[in-house]
Amino acid sequence: MFYEDSFYQYLALERRFSPHTLAAYRRDLSQFIAFLDSQQVDSVAVVRHGHIRAWIVQQMQAGQSPRSINRRLSCLKSYFRLLRKRRLIEHDPLKKVVAPRTGKRLPVFVPEQQVNHLFTRVDFPADYAGQRDRLILEMLYATGLRRSELSLLKINDIDLGRFVLRVQGKGGKERIVPFAHYLARLIEQYLSLREKSFPGAAEPWLLLNRKGARMSPESIYSAVHKYLSMVTTTEQRSPHVLRHSFATHLSDHGADINAIKELLGHANLAATQIYTHNSIEKLKKVYDQAHPKSKEDEP
């Protein structure tokens, strides 16, 4: 017995994980349980650190990256913690497990010039879908929202008078995100076109698909990928890249790291500090190019 259904209910109802994160955890745990089944382990009560170590080795031999393995270990950590809390197991099989080491990976972002090209040189169709897609890109870059947060944004969550959004983030945590006056004008123009395209629509969501229903995170991804492909050749062209660009450009222009943390809805500062690395690397490059003694004693 592995109590996986209880774990999924806990993630959905108590931790309030998004459908995307819940699906990832379900996939990770199912994969681990399938491995245990191949080892003739039929109960979580007999799982020991040796089983988890063997599973990690199998993952590495299959070519999985340390980062992917650590994400799956994070799922197991939550899983075993819940089982111990409910006294379904007595020991922690992860206690003697050492996670694979990962190198630091800087966030991928779009340079400011390419973002400017996106909004000044790309022609967005004048119809509803074209103007909606432009608003998607503008909002993601102007606010740093996640695609799931934008998908769930309601018209009533937008205060055009105070220029702020009320956003439901991860774990159901609410935050207030400011936006610039130009974005308020774009939202007003979009809402007028939305009403003409779907007169009397009862849907509360800001973004609607062609059928007048809520636009899904997957559809938002497709729209972003399509238009980012017109201005950048970077391999990653997702909504999260615009979120990274938002935070990186704020950092480059001197924004306080704690303010960036609040805008992004991060739970701790460590998750935000990765954006300072890009700024530091930029400063190093300027220093190396400009300081008269920067090249002394080079080999």
| Same domain? 75 vs 221 | no
Q: Tell me, what CATH number does 245's domain have?
A: 1.10.443.10
The pLDDT tens digits of the residues spanning 250-275 come to: 988 888 889 999 999 988 887 787 77
The answer to whether residue 97 is domain-embedded is no
User: How does 25-51 read in b/e, with b if 16+ C-beta sit within 10 Å?
Assistant: bbebbeebbebbeeeebeebeebeeeb
Rounded distance between C-alpha atoms, residue 59 and residue 52, angstroms: 10
Our answer to whether residue 243 is catalytic in this structure is: yes
0.75 surpassed by pTM: no
The pLDDT tens digits of the residues spanning 10-47 come to: 999 999 888 888 999 999 999 999 999 999 999 999 99
Our answer to whether residue 51 is catalytic in this structure is: no
Which residue out of 79, 190, 227, 275 is catalytically annotated? 275
Which residue out of 132, 134, 146, 147 is catalytically annotated? 146
Across the beta sheet with 174-178, the strand order is: 158-159, 164-168, 174-178
Domain extent, residue 247, equals 112-286
Query: Residue 230: which residues within 8 A CB-CB, separation 6 or more?
Result: 118, 122
Rounded distance between C-alpha atoms, residue 217 and residue 23, angstroms: 14
Our answer to whether residue 170 is catalytic in this structure is: yes
Which residue out of 170, 175, 214, 277 is catalytically annotated? 170
Pick 283 or 249 by higher pLDDT. Answer: 249
Number of helical H runs and strand E runs in the chain? 12, 3
Provide the pLDDT confidence category of residue 154 given band limits of 50, 70 and 90.
Answer: very high
First to last CA, the chain: 62
The answer to whether residue 291 is domain-embedded is no
| Same domain? 139 vs 210 | yes
Our answer to whether residue 146 is catalytic in this structure is: yes
The answer to whether residue 134 is domain-embedded is yes
CA angle 128, 192, 207 (to 5 degrees): 55
